[in-house]
Structure 1
Amino acid sequence: MSTEKIKQRILIIATTASMIEQFNIHNIKILQSLGIEVHVGTNFKKPGTITSNLSESLKKILKKMGVQYHQLDFSRGIGGHKENKLVLNQICSIIQTYKISGIHAHSPLGGIIARRAAHKMNIKILYTAHGFQFFKGGPLKDWLIFFPVEWFYARWTDALITINQQDYSVAHFLPVTQRYYIPGVGVDFKRNFSENERQNLRIQTRKQLGVQKDEYLIISVGELNKNKNHETVLKAIATLNNPKIKYAIAGIGKEKNRLVELTKKLGLQKQVQLLGYLEDLDGLYYAADLNVFVSKREGLGLGGLDGVVHGVYIIGNANTGMKDYILNKDIGLLVKSPTDSNELAKKIQIAMNEKRKVKLNEQIQKFSQENVDKLMTNIYKKEFLNKYE
């Protein structure tokens, strides 16, 4: 019997529901368009960078799409042996019960446990690395700890998908069966806003935020954690000592209280706002004068790229996948050391003084949702259906 006639059932796995909601809805639709039955396994109870209410809404969306979803009790970080073994058993049980024929895994811990399960149950697995834990310019200890782990599990990986050029280069040193590069997870370039609507959104949002016409609004979009590095942005703004600078952060996370305390310590209470989780970011992007996105580690930095597509000038980290789209000074500036608040302050001052605006070119179009979906469709066809374009 040919492989094509066998009903394929693919399980998409991520440690948090936010990774499904933010990065995998299109993947689900692609698989379904290929006649594949899709299952989703993730932690809906601890959903990551989205709220619990949005996690519950995600369940309803998946059900409406005809997707069977499963609670997996992933821990944050690397997890403990007992917790990880529980998740391994949960995944193996799903594979056995629903006759799963393949897995597409995301996130470091999700990728490790999913690959253990796939190896144990002898089924195919694809793993998308949303930024390796080790990278050029990163800490030596990360290379010593995480590279050997990734190398070990690469032996049990049928296909490794990377979303930036640096990770794709590193992937050639890993013993995977197949490796692919796709430019990110897809961004919508087709904004259904006229120039007049954009200006109205800008005025309306700035009014809501209490930002005056002559003030300079810096934004950051991302989880409130140490990796997203909002702390350095706060220190850079304090260094500039300019009351006309306003800073708004969209996101939730465990670092909230520490950032509030740091804001007070630096005397920035009148300049800084923590907005929490925002489902609709259009208004914030159009209201902004600058997007500062200096994560210490980032596979691509969707919050940065999405801002660029909205026309917001950006400052990013040169040691991350951001350099794939911050190609020149027409798009943004790159810092060499993301924790150097003085370097960042100088870059902010340059962007302010020159009133920098984004000038997009054709190269950025490769990050479009249409292009990424096309590439993922071909990967799924080849890996899960043995169809070659």
Structure 2
Amino acid sequence: MNKDQRSVLMVSTTASMIEQFNLNNLKILLQLGAVVHVATNFEAPGTITKESSLRLKSRLEKIGVTCHQVNFKRGFGNPVANRKAYRQLCSVVEQYKISYIHTHSPLGSIIARRVARHFGIKILYTAHGFQFFAGGPLINWLVFWPIEWYYAHWTDAIVTINTDDYRQAKFLPVKRRYYLPGVGTDIRNAMEFSTQTRNKLRQEFRNKNRIENDDFLIVSVGELSKRKNHDTVIRAIKKLNDPTIKYLIAGIGPEKENLKELINSLGLGNQVKFMGYIENLNELYFAADLNVFVSRREGLGLGGLDGVAHGLYIIGNGRTGMKDYIYNERVGLLLNNPNDADDLAHKIKVVQNERRKISTSAIEPLLKFDVVSVNEKMKAIYYKEFFS
């Protein structure tokens, strides 16, 4: 590496965050001429399978990214594991003479900012949804706001991906703040699928999964976790007592057995199915009639926005960044309380009765979330923070 070449380290607690949110960022850094490294947990990769994690590592190495295994834990971690991750990250920074860090995820970003402060190097932090938010639990404000405020003193710049978080970031003592409309969703390409192709993929998927033409198919895409709130959707479907309603959940995670028990206890085994981790979601979105994405907490909700880009009507949580793209009822409906199964059941019935769909004209205002637009903005941020 010559003395003028920047070395940038991308840090994330899980490999899934790299795959789902940061591949474009890594490519931008490479295009700008940086030597790029990734430090994450490839062995416990989060919301993707271990096989997907191995493929991700191979893909990154092929494009010139150096990968480092760091044993981050999820959530708060624990003191022993966190110290180990800190030492591992320090070793990477010291050995490879890292010039800058771009960090993601709460725990990984706390550890990364401690490392950056130790070595006196610049750090950029992308918040994928603050733990505290308007209408959120008081305990989250009491716990997480002081943590973010404290570590903001060690943050050179922060990127927020929804407008609520950007407003909150104005009260944090960081040097610079940026708003980025999401992480880049392939909206233009999704819009370009012809009606014929959409119908073909819809029918093929329904035939393969034994979904009748008259069935009303609801889908949710996301980790099987308490945060993603699949249990409330299941309870709402029980209240509707309609065997033509089918519900497919695409994702993996620690709550699978608990959700299975709930499904069985409610007698919904013939209506609710787990699809596992799906890499290509086109067929699923086109086959569905409604996307229910009522996470209890969400930065923006890629699984919601991606469905909208494919023309799939949505019910989301109005207390999250989803309201940035569910801007009126042409796109979807918003819950005031994501745990209210009665309200959710009512809204599902409204969509089912009216067979609501999203028109192309309703999607066009969302092109600011398109990957090309977002990449241009992220490139400008990188240039200002790391290359100017």
Q: Which residue of 1 aligns with 2:268?
A: 268
Q: Which residue of 1 aligns with 2:377?
A: 375
Name the SS for the 1:258 alignment partner. Answer: helix
Q: Which residue of 2 aligns with 1:200?
A: 200
- Amino acid in structure 2 at the alignment position of 1:348: I
Measure the CA separation in 2 of the matches of 1:230 and 1:315. Answer: 13
Measure the CA separation in 2 of the matches of 1:94 and 1:261. Answer: 44
How far 1:201 moved relative to its partner?
0.3
Aligned residues: 383
Q: Which residue of 2 aligns with 1:303?
A: 303
Deviations 1:103-139 (A, max 9, x none): 0000001111000100011000000000000100100
Name the SS for the 1:366 alignment partner. Answer: helix
How far 1:209 moved relative to its partner?
1.5
Measure the CA separation in 1 of the matches of 2:295 and 2:311. Answer: 20
Q: Which residue of 1 aligns with 2:111?
A: 113
Name the SS for the 1:103 alignment partner. Answer: strand
Name the SS for the 1:20 alignment partner. Answer: helix
Query: Are 2:336 and 1:336 equivalent residues in the alignment?
Result: yes
Q: Which residue of 1 aligns with 2:243?
A: 243
Measure the CA separation in 2 of the matches of 1:204 and 1:312. Answer: 17
Deviations 1:127-154 (A, max 9, x none): 0000000100100000000000000000
Measure the CA separation in 1 of the matches of 2:200 and 2:363. Answer: 26
Measure the CA separation in 1 of the matches of 2:363 and 2:185. Answer: 15
Contact 2:221 2:249 in 1 (8 A): yes
Query: Which of 64, 67, 81 is equivalent to 2:65?
Result: 67
Name the SS for the 1:246 alignment partner. Answer: strand
- Amino acid in structure 1 at the alignment position of 2:125: Y
1:1-389 map, 5 Å: 6-189=4-187, 190-191=189-190, 193-359=193-359, 360-386=362-388
Measure the CA separation in 2 of the matches of 1:183 and 1:65. Answer: 26
How far 1:338 moved relative to its partner?
0.2
Measure the CA separation in 2 of the matches of 1:158 and 1:65. Answer: 28
Measure the CA separation in 2 of the matches of 1:194 and 1:293. Answer: 25
Deviations 1:327-381 (A, max 9, x none): 0000000000000100100110111111110132432110000110000000000
Name the SS for the 2:219 alignment partner. Answer: strand
Identity of aligned residues (%): 57
Name the SS for the 2:13 alignment partner. Answer: coil
Measure the CA separation in 2 of the matches of 1:233 and 1:131. Answer: 22
How far 1:59 moved relative to its partner?
1.0
Name the SS for the 2:368 alignment partner. Answer: helix
**1:200 and 1:361, CA in 2 relative to 1: closer, same or farther beyond 3 A?**
closer
- Amino acid in structure 2 at the alignment position of 1:37: V
Deviations 1:260-309 (A, max 9, x none): 11001111111010111111111000000000000000000000000000
Q: What TM-score results when the alignment is normalised by the length of structure 2?
A: 0.98
Q: CA RMSD in A?
A: 1.0
- Amino acid in structure 2 at the alignment position of 1:91: L
Contact 2:308 2:363 in 1 (8 A): no
Measure the CA separation in 2 of the matches of 1:166 and 1:209. Answer: 39
Measure the CA separation in 2 of the matches of 1:346 and 1:221. Answer: 21
Measure the CA separation in 1 of the matches of 2:315 and 2:174. Answer: 34
Q: What TM-score results when the alignment is normalised by the length of structure 1?
A: 0.97
Measure the CA separation in 1 of the matches of 2:131 and 2:166. Answer: 14
Measure the CA separation in 1 of the matches of 2:110 and 2:379. Answer: 24
How far 1:7 moved relative to its partner?
1.2
Structure 1 unmatched runs, 5+: none
- Amino acid in structure 1 at the alignment position of 2:173: P
Measure the CA separation in 1 of the matches of 2:45 and 2:155. Answer: 26
Measure the CA separation in 2 of the matches of 1:193 and 1:331. Answer: 18
How far 1:5 moved relative to its partner?
6.4
Measure the CA separation in 2 of the matches of 1:134 and 1:358. Answer: 31
- Amino acid in structure 2 at the alignment position of 1:15: T
Structure 2 unmatched runs, 5+: none
Measure the CA separation in 1 of the matches of 2:162 and 2:74. Answer: 24
- Amino acid in structure 1 at the alignment position of 2:331: I
